[in-house]
Structure 1
């Protein structure tokens, strides 16, 4: 090599720098590829994507191949630089150090930072062409790569990592929720909330979404008939619970479509109501929402009472409540319960459930424990706070605006800093 002309040495050095840039950039591009877009392109039969997908099934082999080639190229470039430095500056004792310094700077700019930055921004631009080169190169150098990987895999097993069991492409629910939340430019916010609602079905129970016991609207058969008739005619609900004195003594559910035909007849009485009742359905409070949706469909019913472990009625849940958990404000007035103000604050009805509030505001208030905002405030304060009280509710600042004797009614969440 000492006999080679300077022009040839410079040409070889330039080639090494180009190869080093290729190996560095292709390594970054292959490792930063969007794996889900890659799978999509594989389904579309994209040739480069298919090659790349095959290589990435064994990333240890691919990385071993790239680093093997890159280290060889960089070492060869350093040797050529040493020869050039000695031949150009034979009298300078520091010529080798100067050559090493210049080579380091050149490689850093042209063979490392520039190609890796480009590869990180546009990984497909380099990854797909590189896959066509690496596939035959891996076959040629496979014995060397295999030998290196034996020691690499052994070292990884010593620290508890099994390359064969690694599944980097799998997503957990929280990561998938983050992807949906960040996809603002691809879908309207209402569809984002719908998808997030579907993901939350796995963790939600009927207790999370039920109408609480004290808010159940029903017919007490102990009331006068005239009062019952007025309640039937004025009710905004399709079905009403019918009981005697207490919701714990439930008799059944009355469908208003059936009873409105009879209510103006001269023979209409309480017995007529009883004859039109459907049997009550009782649902354990810890039943998952997705399970109850299947139960409603299988049993062809739309309403049930939620009971605790002692059989006491805790609330009421309908098929509409379950659908609301998915589609949210498309069919309900969630936004009216949490109204954004011009200063960035929120005026919130304290009867709203924590899940609904989180869905509307994209906050992260805890859903374990109390199900409503009122319940969460009372749990934190251990009392029913007076109007004007300021509270730090799990990192969210709020002020109590209105309360009655036993509940908080209205609060104002201050803008988050």
Structure 2
């Protein structure tokens, strides 16, 4: 070893430190890669991503080859540093050489490379995959032996080393991912994606038009009133009743009878020929399931009934789509039905306003199985029909009844929370 020139030993030491940094950075980069982006790039044909994905399929082998190489070059660097120290100053310089080498490896082969890899994982991982793959094949017997001992120890601890990292996301985790996309996805598209995720948390009862607000044709009405209703209807489809909403005959597509009505040829019998059998929806049906039901049944309107067959309300495909894309309106001021923001920051809401919409607008935290409308929520809290002027707190929000009828609240004023939500310990006291 004395015949080797000192500059050559320094060069070898420098190369070993660089290799140590390469192994360290490749480990951090490969483990930091976004698995979903990696899968996307792999399917698009990115060769580096494909190689990295194959390596990550067996993390025990990947870690084995990286640590095998890293430890080899670190031990070799320590040996070369010892030789250099002995050549320069004898045994008295060994301690100083050890400390200097440790600091050099820590900075240039660990901290700096790993920080770079954590900040730019793809730039490091993809080139490293082209080297680690062939290296793994060459050193596979040694890696296999090392992994066999390590995997046996892991199995004794109840861990299966052949399982890849679990990358499935829960709904709440996916919501976080969507919220954290920032400018990568427009805010409107983020709201649509979150609306889709929220569909299975709501039922048709949350968005239905209650039976007392359903607009339909009553066959027992005067014929003149029926034709006027058809001519002036703002809806394309109208439920058809007979002597009240409890006797449902079906649903009429208004456009199918307009021509006959304008020609004066429309009669009750001809109108009934165009009435399609009613499509009933059980109460409590989740929105995502009902959307699929509308698609399979080729329907756009459903009549909600309870377990006794009593009519409760009406839901349409448009109502479900509005949960995803927002209200279908050209007037921004009408973006939220029955809820109107005031100049002082409060809101005026009709008693029929959806609690689901209020929860989204004001951040109310209420159980999903509670009342579906603001009127029901107020009645549940007061347990009586309130008089105008009565105020109460709902989830810390002041609510003042402005108008009330004999059996329901018509209009209420809602304000932002003014009292902090009580902690569990405070509530117990």
TM-score (norm 2): 0.78
Q: Which range is displaced more, 75-84 or 65-74?
A: 75-84
Matches within 5 A, 1:109-258: 109-202=107-200, 204-221=202-219, 228=226, 230-244=228-242, 246-258=244-256
Q: Sort the Cα spacing of 1:364 and 1:170 in 2 relative to 1 into closer, same or farther, 3 A.
A: farther
2:398 maps to 399
- The secondary structure found in structure 1 opposite 2:39 is helix
- Deviation of 1:45 after TM superposition, in Å, equals 2.8
1:80-100 Cα deviation digits (max 9, x unpaired): 4445445545475xx544433
Give the distance between the partners of 2:317 and 2:269, measured in 1 at CA: 28
Q: Give the Cα separation in 1 of the matches to 2:320 and 2:216.
A: 20
Q: For 1:366-377, what aligned pairs fall within 5 Å after superposition?
A: 368-370=368-370, 372=372, 374=374, 377=377
Distance of 1:345 and 1:241 partners within structure 2: 36
| Farther-moved stretch of structure 1 (128-137 vs 187-196) | 187-196
Aligned equivalents of 2:348, 2:86: Cα separation in 1 = 77
Residues 334-375 of structure 1 show CA distances to partners (whole Å, capped at 9, x for unaligned) of 4466667889877766644455556678x6856731363627
Task: State the alpha-carbon separation in 2 of the partners of residues 81 and 351 from structure 1.
Answer: 81
Aligned to 2:59: 59
> Counterparts in 2 of 1:69-148, with a 5 A limit?
69-85=69-85, 88-90=88-90, 92=92, 95-148=93-146
Q: 1:128 to 1:276 in 2, by over 3 A?
A: closer
Does the 8 A contact of 2:398 with 2:415 survive in 1? yes
Measure, in 1, the Cα distance between the counterparts of 2:226 and 2:74. 90
d(CA) in 2 for partners of 1:56 and 1:41?
Answer: 14
What's the CA shift string for 1:12-56, capped at 9, x where partnerless? 322221111111111111111222332333233333222222212
Q: Which moved more, 1:372-381 or 1:115-124?
A: 372-381
Alignment partner of 1:164: what SS? coil
Contact 1:335 1:360 (8 Å CA) reproduced: no
Residues 280, 303 of structure 2: 8 Å contact kept:
yes
TM-score (norm 1): 0.80
Structure 1 pair 276–139 and aligned structure 2 pair: CA distance change class (3 A): closer
C-alpha separation between the residues in 2 aligned to 1:293 and 1:75? 64
Q: 1:387 deviation in Å?
A: 5.3
- Counterpart for residue 68 of structure 1: 68
Report how far residue 147 of structure 1 moved: 1.7
Q: Deviations over 1:266-302 (max 9, x none)?
A: 8977677656533222111243444434443444432
Deviates more, 1:219-228 or 1:260-269: 260-269
Give the equivalent residue in structure 2 for 1:30: 30
Superposed CA deviations along residues 219-259 of structure 1, whole A, max 9, x for unmatched, are 44555556555544443222222334542322333333345
| Structure 1: tracts of 5 or more residues without a match | none
Deviation at 1:328, TM superposition (A): 2.4
Aligned-partner SS, 2:308:
coil
The separation in 2 between residues aligned to 1:352 and 1:37, in whole angstroms, is: 42
User: 1:180 touches 1:192 (CA, 8 Å); kept in 2?
Assistant: yes
Contact 1:220-1:245 within 8 A present in 2 as well? yes
Cα distance in 2 for partners of 1:112, 1:152 equals 24
Match of residue 46 from structure 1: 46
> Over the residues paired in the alignment, what is the CA RMSD in angstroms?
3.9
CA contact 2:178–2:190 (8 Å) conserved in 1: yes
Q: Which range is displaced more, 205-214 or 65-74?
A: 205-214
Write the distance in 2 (CA, Å) between the matches of 1:238 and 1:139: 68
Q: Is the 8 A contact 1:239 1:254 kept in 2?
A: yes
Displacement of 1:388 = 4.6
Count of aligned residue pairs for this structure pair = 410
Quote how far apart the aligned CAs of 1:305 are: 0.6
Distance 1:135 1:348, change over 3 A: farther
Contact in 1 for aligned 2:57/2:164 (Cα 8 Å): no
Matched-pair contact (CA < 8 Å) for 1:197–1:326: yes
Aligned partner of 2:320 among 294, 319, 322: 322
Distance 1:212 1:309 in 2: 17
Change (3 A) 1:8 1:267: closer
How far does residue 61 in structure 1 lie from its aligned partner after superposition? Answer: 0.4
What is the CA-CA distance between 1:134 and the residue it aligns to? 0.8
